[in-house]
Structure 1
Amino acid sequence: MSAMSRFDLPGLNLPLSWVPRSKSYKGPAEGEGRDLIKTALNETDMQDGWTRLPLTTLREITMMQIMNALTDKPGWEEKVFDNAIAEKWKAEAMATEDRDVTQKMMDWVIAELRWKADNFKKTGIVNVYNGDVVKSDVAISQDLKLSLRSAVEKLENIPVNRKDYHPGSDGKVLDLVHPSLFPLIYGRSRILHDRLLGLDDCIQNSGRGEVIAIPPKGEDNNTSVRRRGYPAPADPYSRKFQWLPCDVDISEPTRVTITSYINNLHPEYHPDLYSIIESVIGKAIPLWNRSLSPLIEHDFHQRINYSLAFSADPDDVSEEEKPQREANESENAYYERIWEWEENYRVAEQPEPEAFTPPKLANHIDLHKDYGHRGLQIIVKLANIELSPEKPTYDGGSWHVEGQMNEHICATALYYFDNENITESYLAFRQQSSTEDADDLGYPQGVHGWLEEVYGCENYGPGVQKIGTITCSENRLLTFPNVLQHQVQPFSLVDRSKHGHRKILALFLVDPGIRVISTANVPPQQKEWWAEEVDRQTGGTKKAIGGLSKELRDMIFEEAGDFPIAMEEAKELRLELMEERKHYSTRLEEAFEENTFSLCEH
């Protein structure tokens, strides 16, 4: 395995599409010697089936949704062992009219929750949906939550004309820290080739470095290979922009240290917020371990193993009992009628779980243990959704995964730290499911209705299943991998005469097996930060540069050239980035649904 320096990065001394790999028949190991975690950012991963979860019965999806709801109840980890309460929960679930819930399903649910409760008491963490989606309402202490609220106020309490509402949000989404502002810009951003920036020297180096080259289009793109039966994948890499992560030291098992600046969060003005975000990252790491572990060995827990059977089958009906051909009815019309009768008569037998058996705990990844020697890279976002009597509703978002391949995001952590005067809100998830699992079930000629009855899917339809939602309750820490698409659901004000909000800290984890260009390589690009530093070094506003007046000095700042970048231009560049990612996201959504069911007619 060839040695690599901290300056051998995709887009800097390496092809933009370079990825590490483990030793195989293709050649020796490269980089860390580990293959990257599979994500739905990569069409080739999707086409090869690496991002697909097992095809999941509707009943199992219902069981996971019930367990999610029950683990939202305060004290569930104790109550589940009270037989009277457990029986009450079973009865309530089975009495729900719009759900297919049986005694055996609920027996499994209670047994699994009792098994999970023991682990929850030790960790405060619970896995909810396969993939895995993981939640905790106790990982973040009340003191830490209140400290975060207080520290964020400095970003919020600024003049209205300086507030940055996200483009296209109708003035409802206030960006406090967003990676689309001042990203890495190929052919424009300056980068250091010989040293790494820390928190103490990043501001002083604003404007320094060499302009990074635009990556050539002719590079061998080893992460985007055309597969037979699929359209050629879209180029998953941008040759214009990359979000910039900060570097994070996790070499000590109980300590997390941000070692390079968070893009768009001034390290000298917000040291307390840096410290708080470090603490939240530390709390998110155990949840990320849970979310990512199943992907390492493609090992997903299945509660129901299904074998196709029918509770009512036309083949068991005698010819005399079947509809008879009517007088003057054509043969084709009769066979069409018989086919419709058989379709309506045949009912797929709904599966039941067996007795609960504990799954193997998939501890295939431990970020501290596996990557403590090199650290993590994390992209930070802080945003408020603000509603008012004039704008009382939030319409929700689209199905998506985070980022482009430039960032190699493998998982997300969301922390909801302040909800006020809003209705209950949810984050929905959907998975790619293995269509081959359906092919492996023996089914009669031309009989496909069971696919919808048992799995909620349609023949010739996409191999995609909606698996459920998570409540975005205050103080909830939530993690999930980038193989699942997620979608913010609509919500609104409770009291429409008052204002309301939801405040979120988002952490996007760069695949720890690869390093990308980060804020350790790129000095701050904000012209405002640079001008303030020049002011500081020359004695401030009362001491002119070279004897010049403040007015002339301000003119010099204004005419300093196209770098560092002024806020007005940064917002224009953000629109370019958003438009590019909009097109890529649309293509990814199509690719997410490209693998379809194609049951044979035999």
Structure 2
Amino acid sequence: MMRFMDQITDKPGWDSKVFDDTITAKWKSEALAAAEVTNEEGAATQTTDITERMIDYCFHELRYKAKVFANTGIVVAYDGDVVKSDVVVPDELCMALKSAAAPLENVAPALRDWHPGSDDLVLDLVHPSLFPVVYGKTRILAHPSVNLENCVEQCGDGEILPVPSKFSQYSIKFQWLPCQVEFGSGDNSVKITSYINNLHPKSNQPLYEAVENILAKAIPLWSRTLWPANSHIIRVPFDGPVYREDDEGDDKGDGDGKDENDDEDENDEDENDDEDNNDDEYEQRLRDWRKRHFVQPEPEDFVDGMTKLSIGTAEEGVSTPLQIRSPSGGPNICNLRDTFAERGLQVIVKLANIHLTPEKPQYGGGTWHVEGQLNEHICATALYYYDCANITESRLAFRQQSDAEKAVFMGYEQEDHGWLSTVFGCEQGEASVQYVGDVLAKEGRLITFPNTFQHRVLPFKLEDPTKSGHRKILALFLVDPHIQIISSAHVPCQRRDWWAEELDNKHALPDRLPLEIKQEVMGYVNDFPIALEEAKKLRLELMDERKFHDVIQDGEFNSTTFSLCEH
């Protein structure tokens, strides 16, 4: 149902078309036709993926979504919440970001920072893995006094940050470095008050402004993304499998399938048959019968502005009606701007491009992962796709862990597991990981999602294989606002190249010295500030550490299985 609604909300003018019965009837017919399969007799039959009642429910919900969209410009693509918008960032901001990022792209080929292991497909413009916090090396100030003006001047100040004690999933080596963000008073603006790691605040002022403006647009989407952390929408109530009565010519005892009483009668009549073979044959027929007769659970009636939510404080298994956001966007259970007006936010910034060429025409996709490690406390991500050219459809996929324990308490018969795949998308004895769906990543789209989902970029390639193409993103990682971590307000600039440039601007070395002599003098600087060559070696260490933790995290993610009790 969510995938169907996501597809509809990708259509141009969907927010008005969902109120046109002629158009929705056509979309409904197309969806039902797509869900049809051909049976053994060659006749079309409906699958259980989506039903007519589900589609009707979806159109009621889509009309509600259209009212919310009219006031907010945002759409919830998947519960959890994955939120998307093609309108909150106006074209002029998109153009400003393209223009401001261009100087980082238009550098000599030798200076381009291709992401390690990407086969020169992923170009890092600003990446938090370069010059991060390095425990045992980074210098930190006791008070957050680093700002955009003095971040280079204070280079070398502060005490060396000690190496923390080992704790599972917490890095004892590195931490991505967020910038501090303050809210504007009386408007919806924000201000970045400490430097974005690896983005010089003086030579990249237009880019700072562009990032601030897009960040301001992302905050309402983050508020919506983080709202359902303690509740979830139930569209289709399900307490256990239900099966239809026999159709004419499909008797359970005709060899196609039967129930347990029929099995007992047959055993009484033919006690000399091999019991093991009979049991196996019967179980297979019973599974086949259940598959044909399973009653697809259906949604209840949609009530505009109301839905049934499972509330953590409510009695177990009881659905409690609760008003969700009105079409105006309220009531706001989570409003980052109001809740953290005084404290502000901490945000990690990344700018990266994927470049395809006729020689390298395909991007193979990313791996399933969540963002960061526990000491970075990333709670949500915002991705803004600001430039896409000559590539096929690019999509961002999501999956989640489902609550396998609750399934055990549902009513079902012995060895009755077939409904798990239909209802939960999982199998008995296998990981309780559900593929949620994927969202189109197109130019001008802003997507936010919580860091409870695993996500991955799906493969894409050049649309015209004779020409180059690209996809460019601005990624913003929100640190849990309840937790303050080490930020660039505490850590003066660590880059030797920035420090050397500042010394030169202040004429710390005599101007009459040749450039070669100045560079030789700088070469005598040991350990700190950190040279680019050393930073790249440290980045490889950081990446190796994160790959190791990703494997552990993915193992934990897949370790919980559906294991229905046998009565």
**Fold shared by both chains (TM-score > 0.5):** yes
- Which residue in 1 is equivalent to 2:157? 208
3-state DSSP of counterpart to 2:273: coil
Q: Is 333-342 or 134-143 further displaced after alignment?
A: 333-342
3-state DSSP of counterpart to 2:28: helix
3-state DSSP of counterpart to 2:466: coil
Tell me the distance in 2 between the aligned counterparts of 1:133 and 1:453: 23
Q: Is the 8 A contact 1:251 1:375 kept in 2?
A: no
Q: Is the 8 A contact 2:425 2:435 kept in 1?
A: no
Given candidates 433, 437, 441, the residue that maps to 1:464 is 433
- Which residue in 2 is equivalent to 1:524? 493
Structure 1 residue 329 displacement after superposition = 3.3
Given candidates 192, 198, 210, the residue that maps to 1:258 is 192
* Aligned ranges 1:122-521 → 2 under 5 Å: 122-217=71-166, 235-250=168-183, 252=185, 253-295=187-229, 298-307=230-239, 308-311=241-244, 314-315=258-259, 318=262, 329-347=273-291, 348-357=294-303, 358-359=306-307, 360-361=323-324, 363-521=332-490
- Which residue in 1 is equivalent to 2:19? 81
Tell me the distance in 2 between the aligned counterparts of 1:567 and 1:550: 19
- Which residue in 2 is equivalent to 1:110? 59
Tell me the distance in 2 between the aligned counterparts of 1:321 and 1:272: 82
1:244-286 CA-partner distances (Å, limit 9, x unpaired): 0000001534120000000000000100100110011100001
Residue 503 of structure 2 aligns to which amino acid in structure 1?
V
Instruction: Give RMSD over aligned pairs.
Output: 1.8
Q: With the length of structure 2 as denominator, give the TM-score of the two structures.
A: 0.88
Tell me the distance in 1 between the aligned counterparts of 2:519 and 2:443: 44
3-state DSSP of counterpart to 1:95: helix
Q: Is the 8 A contact 1:291 1:481 kept in 2?
A: yes
Structure 1 residue 454 displacement after superposition = 2.8
Tell me the distance in 2 between the aligned counterparts of 1:463 and 1:196: 47
Structure 1 residue 310 displacement after superposition = 1.4
3-state DSSP of counterpart to 2:233: coil
Tell me the distance in 2 between the aligned counterparts of 1:285 and 1:324: 70
Structure 1 residue 436 displacement after superposition = 2.0
Tell me the distance in 2 between the aligned counterparts of 1:329 and 1:454: 37
Q: Does 1:585 align with 2:550?
A: yes
Alignment coverage as a number of residue pairs: 518
Q: Is the 8 A contact 2:398 2:437 kept in 1?
A: yes
Unaligned runs of 5+ in 2: 37-46, 246-251, 253-257, 308-322, 326-331
Q: Is the 8 A contact 1:325 1:334 kept in 2?
A: no
Q: Is the 8 A contact 2:143 2:490 kept in 1?
A: no
What is the percentage of aligned positions where both structures have the same residue? 50
Structure 1 residue 324 displacement after superposition = 9.0
Tell me the distance in 2 between the aligned counterparts of 1:465 and 1:194: 44
* Aligned ranges 1:525-544 → 2 under 5 Å: 525-538=494-507, 543-544=510-511
3-state DSSP of counterpart to 2:23: helix
Q: Is the 8 A contact 2:35 2:50 kept in 1?
A: no
- Which residue in 1 is equivalent to 2:521? 556
Structure 1 residue 192 displacement after superposition = 1.3
1:350-409 CA-partner distances (Å, limit 9, x unpaired): 111121123332632110110111000000000000000000000001110000011100
Structure 1 residue 194 displacement after superposition = 3.8
Q: Is the 8 A contact 2:397 2:439 kept in 1?
A: yes
- Which residue in 2 is equivalent to 1:594? 559
- Which residue in 2 is equivalent to 1:22? none
Q: Is the 8 A contact 2:75 2:84 kept in 1?
A: yes
3-state DSSP of counterpart to 1:277: helix
Residue 283 of structure 2 aligns to which amino acid in structure 1?
W
- Alpha carbons of structure 1 residues 133 and 195: separation in structure 2 relative to 1, 3 Å: closer
Structure 1 residue 317 displacement after superposition = 7.0
Q: Is the 8 A contact 1:251 1:368 kept in 2?
A: no
Structure 1 residue 456 displacement after superposition = 2.1
Q: Does 1:565 align with 2:530?
A: yes
Tell me the distance in 2 between the aligned counterparts of 1:580 and 1:319: 57
Residue 596 of structure 1 aligns to which amino acid in structure 2?
T
Q: With the length of structure 1 as denominator, give the TM-score of the two structures.
A: 0.83
- Which residue in 2 is equivalent to 1:228? none
Structure 1 residue 155 displacement after superposition = 0.2
Tell me the distance in 2 between the aligned counterparts of 1:471 and 1:325: 60
3-state DSSP of counterpart to 1:205: coil
Unaligned runs of 5+ in 1: 1-62, 222-234
Tell me the distance in 2 between the aligned counterparts of 1:393 and 1:80: 36
- Alpha carbons of structure 1 residues 315 and 390: separation in structure 2 relative to 1, 3 Å: same
- Alpha carbons of structure 1 residues 349 and 322: separation in structure 2 relative to 1, 3 Å: farther
Structure 1 residue 205 displacement after superposition = 1.3
Tell me the distance in 1 between the aligned counterparts of 2:350 and 2:487: 15
Q: Is the 8 A contact 2:430 2:561 kept in 1?
A: yes
- Which residue in 1 is equivalent to 2:314? none
Q: Is 504-513 or 78-87 further displaced after alignment?
A: 78-87
Structure 1 residue 318 displacement after superposition = 4.3
Q: Is 563-572 or 330-339 further displaced after alignment?
A: 330-339
Q: Is the 8 A contact 2:263 2:282 kept in 1?
A: no
Tell me the distance in 2 between the aligned counterparts of 1:322 and 1:78: 60
1:31-73 CA-partner distances (Å, limit 9, x unpaired): xxxxxxxxxxxxxxxxxxxxxxxxxxxxxxxx10010000011
Structure 1 residue 216 displacement after superposition = 2.8
- Which residue in 2 is equivalent to 1:43? none
- Alpha carbons of structure 1 residues 263 and 319: separation in structure 2 relative to 1, 3 Å: closer
Tell me the distance in 1 between the aligned counterparts of 2:260 and 2:71: 54
